[in-house]
Chains A and B, each alone.
Chain A
Amino acid sequence: MATISIDGKHYEVEDGSNVLEAVLGLGLDLPYFCWHPALGSVGSCRQCALLQFQNADDDRGRIVMGCMTQVTDGMLLSLSDSRAKAFRADVIEALMTNHPHDCPVCAEGGECHLQDMTVMSGHRDRRYNGLKNTHVNQDLGPLIHHEMNRCIACYRCVRYYQDYAGGTDLAALGSHDHVYFGRHEDGTLESEFAGNLVEVCPTGVFTDKSLVHDYTRKWDLQSAPSICTACGVGCNTIPGERYGRLKRIHNRYHHEVNGYFLCDRGRFGGGWVNSERRLRQAGAQMSDGCFAPLTQEQAVQRLQTLCGADSKLWGIGSPRASLESNWMLRSLVGDEHYCPGFGPEQDALRAVMTALTEGGVATATLPEIEAADLVIIVGEDITQSAPRIALALRQSVRNLGLEQAANLGVQHWQDAAVRNIAQNTRSPLVEWVSASTRLADVATKTLTLAPTDIARMGFALAAALDEGAGVDGLTADQTTHVVQLASRVLGAKRPLIVSGCSSHDASVVYAAQALAAAVARRHAATRVVYTVPECNSVGVGLLKGTHKDLADVVAAAEAGHIDTLVVLENDLYRRMKKEWVTRLAAAVPNIVVLDALETSTCDAAQLVLPVASFTEAEGTLVNAEGRAQRFYPVVSDVGERLPGWQWLRLAAVGRANRSDLETLMHLDQVLEAIAAEQPQLDGIRAAAPDASYRDRVGLKAARQPHRYSGRTAMYADKTLHEPKTPVDEDAPLSFSMEGESHALPSALRSFVWDPGWNSNQSLHKFQAEIGGALKGGSAGIRLIEPKGQPAPGAYSVPAAFEPPLSGWYLTAQYRIFGSEEMSAHAPGILAVSAGPTLILSADDALQLALAADDGVTLITADGSVDCEVTVDPALPKGTVGFVVGHAHLLDLRAGETVSLEKKPGLMRRSEVIASDGVRVYG
């Protein structure tokens, strides 16, 4: 620690940090633009100026930039000296010479760092009376709106986009006062993390296109703490709502999960909740196949009838439904009749559950991923399957360069200096993957292999580290690679093994577990990351019980053991082949489907019940690291919809043996019941405060910021009566602006705001240290902590991959846009998703005379499907990849042998955008 003096007062601050960080950390105000806690310092905006004095006799001092000045013990500073203040006002005045002052029509307005800093710096009157430079804006695609004229040239966007996120198609163009931040030409930004520009840009250059087109002033957004449902990482989010519509999703800082950033699927994928395909009302299928609308009361009656005491009841749960809903379903139907509803990833997922709970190696937190000095990725295109992790891995490769900089006495936050020193130096990141990945640009080595060969590499390296018997039949190159990598592993300090379910092959996960155990025996600091496909895959996996397979359900149905099948938030077509769904539907007299969106499965149901989405209900999700996290409704009026568990609670009324369920009226009661029954889930109660939470003055946490307007007038066009504040009995949050906004538990924070700090830059007011944990504690709670010694698990090394004698071996490939079910219904995500894609090696493409975008017919044992071709030169011989989750490709399975035929005249993606802008492909 160092003692510094600011305006005559002494403070203890962190040694080696920079003055700006130290000042902000002390809770003092110092305006800034180019500095960002995750991006470090470059000294471009010159806004964070203050005065530094040589010694006590120095009464002149000199202007220094806070962000570029290292804290030293005994340093003398002044924030409030009139020269420092005048300088800061001068900087703003200069920045504003070309700014259009278009705040009234700017989507950033009211939540704008530039507005805040302008006010904070005291600049008010414009004295520049010359012409302003103007720019032409670009079309950056369906997600991000560009308005260059608002730019103050802080360079944050390109530093974030290029340096931090690894994007290449956004650059600083031009020079002097004609610098321009954009693309070489109009076009969709390529980075999967482009959406963070919306939050990184301190003004309104990059804004959320969906918000721009469905605009609400920022302070009129009602928000709630939420959890992203678009993958298993469980990023913390803040959805913003007005008039019942989701307007935008912002990042909610969580030090250990997502830090400052989201991926674009998470940010823009929530738009499905506004979809026309949302189920708004219960319906009963009539003989003509049409659905008759039911009131909630009628629906409950029908539900109770179908789930009556004598009914042989089975249930299929869902890894995308909350823990509460899944538990309620399982309780309703009984353990032996409950199926979690996993799809083709089931075997790999079960292997992941074993690795997590019994592997004995801790899962990395976000800072631990970023700190890894050696990364081995076992069978994951992590950018597609768990994007936020990939963004963290992009930071991990910098560690060697940071070390070089440290050796020259350059602090890690000196961003430009560190990058100049490091140049292309990277910490090792090795990928064993089944196709080219989006991390290839930072990987020090990429081997593309068939999944079983990936597993073999893992076992081989584990054996090399354990000095045990190797794996037979590796190629010479593979053997050399294993030997070299083993020595690098021994030299590493913080190794990280990344694997997961994406290959749909359990042997890959077994290999990762064995490897992690071998590495962990060498280094106690070893960490793992396992990806899972959905937001609650692990939560459902943690529910103890028999966990029937879907095949068991079909068998039971065909044996006549099922009267009523309750399908919870699950489109069965995404889980089993169409033929099996048909058989199941034919064998079950009554199917009840509960879901948020209309799916194909609904057509097989006699009763369809509308379920509240993540913006309309509360619940608990368990992410891939085993962290239970709570999400809360942001919409108060959910109409006829109920959370899944509420429907199921009502269904239990007539169940002789489970009428107790009916009494679980509130979420907290459900959580109690789960914890009582399942001790391994006991932690879920502590994931967030319960509904009895009250702040110092006896209020719940507010969902509306203090500036929220129109509360009494919002619905004046419908009724003259002032609406009553909606009551939320289940949540510790109120639909109100009354309540504590500062001393809040992190799990209940709906927005960040501090006097003078209206943008998300106010976050530092809520952090215990800049870039560190929140003062309100770490939201959520980890349910899984490694116990015992690193365990390699029970496994056998698979045989080497042999290309099929005729045909191709199908490998699963995920896509950030399109593979996930719900986000694919968000308009922005739909617009950037590819059509049904088949990935071919260059050799095979040549042999079949196919080029990118050509049509190909893929023939399986069950039938055929037409795809567009993508060529991947690195694809292993004998394999072809298909995009998991695409509506046309749901019947394909990894590991199948398929044959291919050229399909002349296939309509290409660009040609099938219908005139109304809706793609023909589902």
Chain B
Amino acid sequence: MNFPHTIWRRLRSRWQHGDVKREVDEELRFHLEQRTAENIAAGMSPDEGAREARKRFGNLQSVREECRDRKGASFGETLIQDVRFGLRMLRKNPGFTTVAALTLALGIGLNTAILSVAYGVLWRPLPYPNPDRLVIVASAQQTETGVKTFWTWAPVTYDALRPRVTTLDQLAAYNSIDAQLAGRGEPLQLQALEVSPNFFATLGVKPARGRAFLTGAGAPDDDRTVIVTDRLWRTSLNADPAIVGQSISIDGVPRTVVGVLPSDFSFRPVVRIGALPEPDIFLSNRWPGDTGRNAFLFLLGSLKSGVMRERAEAELTALVNDPLIAPVGALAPEGVFAPNVRTLVRAVGLQDYGTQSVRKLLLILLGAVSFVLLIACVNVANLQMARLTARRGELSVRMALGAGRQRIVRQLLTESVVLSLLGASLGVILARIAIDVALPFVPPFLLPRLGGIVIDARVMAFCLGLSLVSSLLIGLLPALRVSGAAFGEGLALHAGAARTTGDRQGDRQGERLRTLLVAAQIAMTLVLLIGAGLLIHSFVRLTSVSPGFALSGRDGVVQTVKVTLPERLYDKPERIHAFARGGLDRIQNLPGVKSASLINSPPFGMPFIRDEFGIEGQPKPTLDAGQPKIAAGYFKTMGIPLLAGRDFTARDTAEAPKVAIVSERIARAYFPGGPGGALGRRVRLGDRGEWLTVVGVVADIRQMGLDGDVQPMIYVPFQQERGFVLRFVTFVVRTATPASVVRGIRAEIRRAAPDLPIESTVTMDEAVAASVAQPRFRMLLLVLFAMTATLIATCGIYGLMAYAVTQRRREIGVRMALGAQRRDVLRLVLTRALRIVVAGLIVGLAGAAGVTRMLRTFLFGVTPTDPIAFTIVTLLLMAVGLMAAWLPARRAAKTDSMEALRSE
């Protein structure tokens, strides 16, 4: 009979018990009457025929019971009995129940927490009507090493593609910028997104108040309107219900609020280095004046219904390769793509694109917590096995009384399900607490879509599934043991009496299995611990890298204060110079300031512009160089050693001869004679810039992070620069009292520019720490999981050895009676534990050598088979294993031989 039918029959019987009983009785009566009629037809008298029929049928009650049983009449009742008995057993063994439920809760809780994060980030559908149809359009080229992708486009290319593409419903463009809100209390630095007017139509989102941007030709929205998020509307615009139609000042320009987005709206722009914060405002733009080849727009498309991505990619590829349509040379900056190689277009799902930076990490974390759950299940299975030995009497009595093995297995599995559900309930609570406590500490740039992380019905369903899988894992081995030949109903005859050879044989089998399980736990724990060890070693290596400038020390810390000068008010370099000069003069005189300077692109911050450069009389260098604009005193403040020449001074003004200071890497690469050889030589930025005389050489620094190479630099005096990059001003101050200095700087900036918001105030220590936040985050998580696994595995070893010592108490008593010393007993137990641990470690080492390759992209300065991490972690786990066995071993060594011999 097929399985669904059986289930249906049993379910039906649960509700229609009376019907089944009646049905069986009627069926039996029918067969009896048939047989009687046949007998009468064969010549018997009616009485004789009926008697013969009954005789042929045998014990009618037995047949009736058997039929009912086969029809499943008692399934529901026995299930309830099993559940009730399971609960009673759990209540009667609070020690076991607590340990098992907590162990499972840890495993299931960690899995639930990480899955809710992974689901919320990677798989929860984006909050738009047709999230699967949204794609980010990128250009790409097939190279020898793989596909090289370039994500942004020039406005001219966008304008060429948008009206021509037929496979997309909409093609929108966006660009992330900074903006400032003024006139509504404290000036605010905002995240803004410049978007094409059809941006919201592409997403399929309508504002909750007001309207979206007008998309028609010649629409009057450009440069004068703004759409705000619900968050900004509530926090900074006082949730004014009449905000639509009002004007707010953005970057000093009045803009009319035309819409407020729904509260659940979310759009997280992602750039190469990670996710940016959610925008606060959206500004309509068509980039009408931008006809250059600068590619800075992200393109967001909405596939037409029924159109596959491949079709859209093919169409867009054809369009961008048509020189009559797409402007030649505007696809990517020079040098990004190889000439004479066809440019392809990729349409990457918006969700995949937005989460690709964390996908691998989250999948690895999911794998790690699966290991923890597996270890937890193995531990509880082991406890169940030990308990099974204690329950042999009860189970064999059940068997003797007629319970089939299937029935016993069902009972054990039901008990496991009850236990798992208890563990799962606790696990969900733990997961909830973990998420509530931990998420606020996770910087938004580490995980995109933080808001999507909740324990909802899907996660709960997963948790339920997990608990059922766990119950199978923890119930299966005991169930298999029950099915084994050594575990027989015949034991009932001996239950409560002296143990037999069969009992001992069964015990030995059980113990072997338990030993195997503990060794497996050790192996899995070692894999996790080595993973954590590798990340720790990698983190230590990373944080021991010098950034090239002095962090906190006896001179205090380097405090930075960043502002972005709005283009409308600071459209001339002279204004910016005046602001910078005036601000710096006042800041240098603040109490507590040891030295102060400014830079437009501080290390470990944004923006950072790297470009080619030239050296007079030399071929074009192959290196690109960072080109920060700095004021005098920058190197002193930052603690960057001056290796040759001089620092910039106040005399390096716009009118003075143009000068530059190069970093050691450039000096050594291009100027023979070391740092001194660069002095007096001339360099220029880009390939057409003015020649600048090198007046100094400074030590190298790491600009973008500790894991990057040192960055070649050409420093230029702030006062000699005239480009737009000057608008990004970061004051740097060496001080021992950063808090009061920041207050002073704030006051000075407010005095100079009342509407100018402070964008950030961090110390360089904090900036460096933030740059390693992601490695620290994944290291801490993996360490947490590995510690949990170690704790569980330690309990496993302890439990096994404690149980073995109890089982072998008499043997130990005999040994001691025969002259064994305490240290002999200690050695006996510890040697056994060591064998199990070493067996687990060997398997674990082999497993780790394979599994840790997945961590390769997260490692810095260490290989996935780093001998230091492997050795230390292995020895550590061995020591932990022996420590766990030490207590039972000590107890065994204290055995009173006479008492042990009398006890059995």
Same complex for A and B? Answer: no
